[in-house]
Amino acid sequence: MSQYYKDADDLLRIYGYFLDRVLKDEKIGTKMSKAGIIIKFIYTDPDCEITIDLKNPPKPGYYGTFYLGPCDLQEDVWSKQSADHSHRFWHGIENPIASVTKGLVKQGGKVTAMLKLLPVVKPAFQMFPVALRELGLDHLIVSKG
Amino acid sequence: MYGNTGIIATIDLGARAVGSIEPEEELYARFIGGSGLAAKLFWDRADFAAEPLSPGALLLFMNGPLAGVKLSGASRMCAAARSPLTGAFADSSCGGYFAPALRHAGFDGIVVTGRAERPSVLVVRQGAVALEEAPDLWGMGIEECTAVLRERYGKRCRTLVIGPAGENLVPFACIMHEGHHAFGRCGIGAVMGSKNLKAVVTAVDAAAMSVADPDRVKELIRELTPRIKDHLISQVLHDFGSPGNLEGHMYTGDVPVKNWTSNFNEEMAEALTGSTLSDKYLTRTGTCAYCAVACKRIVKVDEGPFAVPEGPGPEYETVAAFGTLLDSADLAAVCKANRVCNDLGMDTITAGATIAWAMEAFERGNLTAEHTGGTELLWGDMDTVVHRVLPDMAARRGPLGELLSLGSAGAAAALGGGAIDYTVQCKGLEAPMHDPRGGGHGHALAYAMSPRGACHVATAMHFMETGACNYPEIGFEFDLEALTSEKKPETLALAAAIGSIENSACLCQYADRALTITEMVELFNAVAGYGYTPETMMEAGLRVFHLKRCINYRFGFTAADDDLTKRMREPARDGDPAGIEIEFDAMKERFYGVMSMDPQRGIAAAEILVSLGLREESGLLWEKAP
């Protein structure tokens, strides 16, 4: 039972709002787009998936395209984790290396290309709580410790 | 005996007397092999009054019990001696192909004493070692010497060679294997040079090795190989080599910039990281024996002032030491500096760190044109570094070459005037390119406590603190916060044992990140029949760690030497870790408590040594000592 998300629709609504901000952000988006890959995030509890396309041309004003829910695009790399773990990751309080070491995150494909994105998305850790606040979801904001 | 051959060759170079020792089987299990067994042999056989570069000094090459097993990461070996750079016990690890060859020759190691009358080569053949004079090789760079040895002893021979730096007794001279892999740290190349020993060569055919449980060994190899290959760290290493995560490390503040005065430079991160190296200069990858990871870089720089023909490329440490640390984003210059250091036979970490210190000293006016013989040492001036400073250091030529050939601590001591404050070293060994102020505060404690000086591979702290290890079998499931001291002393107590196990087993610390504690135990038992449990294996690791500190105590090192320089204690000035202070003294005090170590002497309490089976050592240091 997820600590943060009621169901898949709830997760997709929150991530949709957040990713819309991230992929429009000039500083983060520019660097993300250099990765040139398609990433599929597979979430459990609730089960759903999100695909981020950093390979094909995005629509104007964006540096990448995201798809909420199943998507036909063939991913270059995938990452599977619980929705709650992902929620904490976007707050910057999960060590991604430790998460893989402990098997909390599974991944496959061009993993090294995705790894290069880690420092790039770090500024988004500040944006996620802001997005939650803007959605009126202050109670979902997680603090360290 | 299984795994190990049970025979260690000995040679007194001066007397040309060859022999062997056959340690009791039980000694192997107690000290594992590699650096642990080297430490025990050193304790038992070394003349502690001998200076590091005197004929009486001991030089050891030692295999681990897994050498020859066709498993990724099991092909490293250890060289050990008293370091001419630090005066402490030194062990240095090298990958490649020599370890299996030595095992095929029928030896677990070689113990060298004395000094050859003329420059010589030690030749290892099946069940025999012999000294052959080779004065024609003296003065040759490592690439040329390695090529000549191949002509002389056959294409399949394996070589350990010193360069001009080793011959000139530069205290951070390294030993190069096949001109690519290095026993890099602590100056063991100078020890070889002091013995007039230009090279050690194996000329043997592969031979079958006897293991305790052949079926289980096969199973373990089958199970572990894909796991090692698919491990996240291995994937990064395979794709981009050890500089693969330089960019990621830069964002955490782990990469030192401009002699550790900065923890962040985005432009350099992008210019120097492993993917850039692959894109611009990689021609193919290389590997150690039987390794599926293949992290070695073969590079070529086609044109420009730093052009290099196809050959060994730089590791992460070299990229940072000759890149960020010198305030340079020139990756071609790094490739060239790497090749120059390799050919001259100098440790790239100490060489780069010493030059970085000198650049700061020059900027501050502590080091003047008078000291440098007119050479201007300016940040990022790689032309001067590559074409003038490095050759002068290796030759001990001119006032600057002579000064910098002492290493940073020696040079700062010679210069005086507070220049030691901005060196970055512990016990005289320059820190590797991981800044604890950003990479993790536990690194700082690990650097200070490492028996050989500032080192990130003496213990497993670097990997444990960054989250790359999970060892529930020994109670390590800590989620560590990098930039705090919380649980760091307790973690280091485990990391010291694990690091000692890895260095004694001569396992690659990259490849074995995929292994659990239970699997390590199984490997030892299936290959060497050690009969370990997780507890007894960890105890063996602790035994090795404490023994090395006992050796250092006999050389005059105490708890006061477990310290950081002023620069390392300063809070970072920029980047993520800016302004955060490392609580070093509190961590150190806690670590001493956790390890039951004496806060003055810096060695374990007598009852701890006795409980680890170090009764003789305890007796000498606690009962007879004043």
DSSP string, B125-174: ETTEEEEEE-GGGTT--HHHHHHHHHHHH-TT-EEEE--HHHHTT-TTB-
Strand partners, B183: B175
Asked if residues B83 and B452 have their Cβ atoms less than 8 Å apart, the reply is: yes
Q: Does A98 touch chain B (CB under 8 A)?
A: yes
Residues 6+ apart with CB under 8 A from B380: B326, B327, B328, B330
Subunit contact A115:B232, Cβ cutoff 8 A? yes
Dist. CA B497–CA B470, nearest whole Å: 15
Q: Which fold has domain B241-417?
A: 1.10.569
Q: How far is B470 from chain A (nearest CA, A)?
A: 6
Subunit contact B468:A101, Cβ cutoff 8 A? yes
**Nearest-Cα residue of chain B relative to residue A101:** B468
Subunit contact A98:B470, Cβ cutoff 8 A? yes
Q: How far is B575 from chain A (nearest CA, A)?
A: 12
Instruction: Please tell me the CATH superfamily of domain A8-132, with its number.
Output: SCP2 sterol-binding domain (3.30.1050.10)
User: Exposed, middle or buried, B579 (CB in 10 Å: 0-12/13-18/19+)?
Assistant: exposed
Q: How far is B552 from chain A (nearest CA, A)?
A: 35
> Which DSSP string do the residues of B116-129 spell out, in sequence order?
-SS-EEEEEETTEE
pLDDT reported for residue B626: 43
Nearest to A101 among B250, B252, B469 (CB): B469
User: Exposed, middle or buried, B151 (CB in 10 Å: 0-12/13-18/19+)?
Assistant: exposed
Q: Does A111 touch chain B (CB under 8 A)?
A: yes
Asked if residues B322 and B334 have their Cβ atoms less than 8 Å apart, the reply is: yes
Give me the sign of the Cα torsion angle A134, A127, B571, B467: positive
Q: How far is A145 from chain B (nearest CA, A)?
A: 10
Subunit contact A116:B247, Cβ cutoff 8 A? yes
Dist. CA A97–CA B317, nearest whole Å: 20
> Please, what CATH class does the domain formed by B430-623 belong to?
mainly alpha
Dist. CA B353–CA B397, nearest whole Å: 19
Q: pLDDT tens for chain A, 145 residues: list them.
A: 899 999 999 999 999 999 999 999 999 999 999 999 999 999 999 999 999 999 999 999 999 999 999 999 999 999 999 999 999 999 998 888 889 888 899 999 988 888 888 888 989 999 999 999 999 999 999 987 6
Instruction: Sort out which chain A residues have CB atoms less than 8 A from B245's CB and list them.
Output: 115
3-state class (DSSP) for residue B603 = coil
Tokens of B40: 């025990």
Tokens of B216: 């289980």
Dist. CA B325–CA B321, nearest whole Å: 5
Dist. CA B256–CA A58, nearest whole Å: 37
Residues 6+ apart with CB under 8 A from B144: none
Nearest to A97 among B235, B250, B466 (CB): B466
Q: Is the peptide bond before A119 cis (omega within 30 degrees of 0)?
A: no
Q: What pTM does this model have? A: 0.94
Strand partners, A74: none
> ipTM for the complex?
0.79
Q: How far is B230 from chain A (nearest CA, A)?
A: 9
Instruction: Sort out which chain B residues have CB atoms less than 8 A from A115's CB and list them.
Output: 232, 236, 245, 248
Give me the sign of the Cα torsion angle B391, B392, B393, B396: positive
Subunit contact B236:A119, Cβ cutoff 8 A? no
Element at B176 (helix H, strand E): strand B175-177
Q: How far is A98 from chain B (nearest CA, A)?
A: 4
CA–CA distances in Å: residue B227 to residues B118, B231, B525, B626: 49, 6, 20, 52
Chain B interface, best mutation among A77, A78, A93, A116, by max B CB count within 10 A: A116
Subunit contact A98:B468, Cβ cutoff 8 A? yes
Subunit contact B470:A97, Cβ cutoff 8 A? no
Tokens of B293: 């990871």
Nearest to B470 among A101, A112, A116 (CB): A101
Domain range annotation of chain B: 8-202, 241-417, 430-623
Asked if residues B331 and B339 have their Cβ atoms less than 8 Å apart, the reply is: no
Q: Does B478 touch chain A (CB under 8 A)?
A: no
Dist. CA B550–CA B434, nearest whole Å: 27
Asked if residues B499 and B508 have their Cβ atoms less than 8 Å apart, the reply is: no
CA–CA distances in Å: residue B485 to residues B201, B230, B405, B433, B437: 46, 32, 35, 20, 11
pLDDT reported for residue A1: 87
Match 């900027």 to its residue by tokens: B363
User: Exposed, middle or buried, A73 (CB in 10 Å: 0-12/13-18/19+)?
Assistant: middle
Dist. CA B31–CA B503, nearest whole Å: 11
Q: What are phi and psi of B61, to 5 degrees?
A: -115, 125
Q: How many helices (H) and strands (E) does chain B have?
A: 29, 17
**Nearest-Cα residue of chain A relative to residue B227:** A101
Dist. CA B570–CA B590, nearest whole Å: 21
Subunit contact B470:A112, Cβ cutoff 8 A? no
Tokens of B122: 């030690």
What's the N-to-C CA distance of chain B in angstroms? 41
Q: Is the peptide bond before B599 cis (omega within 30 degrees of 0)?
A: no
Tally of residues, chain B: 626
Q: Does A143 touch chain B (CB under 8 A)?
A: no
Q: Does B148 touch chain A (CB under 8 A)?
A: no
Chain B interface, best mutation among A34, A97, A99, A111, by max B CB count within 10 A: A97
Subunit contact B251:A119, Cβ cutoff 8 A? yes
**Nearest-Cα residue of chain B relative to residue A106:** B232
Alpha helices (H) in B529-626, listed in sequence order: 534-554, 566-569, 584-594, 606-611, 615-618
**Nearest-Cα residue of chain B relative to residue A102:** B470
Q: Does B479 touch chain A (CB under 8 A)?
A: yes
Q: How far is B394 from chain A (nearest CA, A)?
A: 37
Q: How far is B469 from chain A (nearest CA, A)?
A: 6
Q: Does B251 touch chain A (CB under 8 A)?
A: yes
Domain range annotation of chain A: 8-132
Q: Which fold has domain B8-202?
A: Aldehyde Ferredoxin Oxidoreductase;  A, domain 1 (3.60.9)
Subunit contact A118:B248, Cβ cutoff 8 A? yes
Instruction: Sort out which chain A residues have CB atoms less than 8 A from B513's CB and list them.
Output: 101
Q: What are phi and psi of B310, to 5 degrees?
A: -55, 130
Cβ-based contacts under 8 A for chains A and B: 45
Chain A interface, best mutation among B479, B487, B510, B517, by max A CB count within 10 A: B479
Tokens of B451: 């028996």
Q: What angle do CA B339, B344, B346 make, to 5 degrees?
A: 90
Asked if residues B11 and B111 have their Cβ atoms less than 8 Å apart, the reply is: yes
Asked if residues B106 and B126 have their Cβ atoms less than 8 Å apart, the reply is: yes
Chain A interface, best mutation among B234, B238, B245, by max A CB count within 10 A: B245
Neighbour count for residue B580 (Cβ, 10 Å): 15
Show the low-confidence residues of chain B (pLDDT under 50): 626
Q: Does A24 touch chain B (CB under 8 A)?
A: no
Type of residue found at A15: Y
Dist. CA A2–CA A12, nearest whole Å: 14
Dist. CA B64–CA B67, nearest whole Å: 6
Dist. CA B94–CA B67, nearest whole Å: 12
Dist. CA B82–CA B269, nearest whole Å: 36
CA–CA distances in Å: residue B479 to residues A96, A118, B437, B618: 11, 19, 18, 36
**Nearest-Cα residue of chain A relative to residue B251:** A119
Q: Does B235 touch chain A (CB under 8 A)?
A: yes
pLDDT digits (tens, 9 = 90+) for B472-482: 999 998 889 89
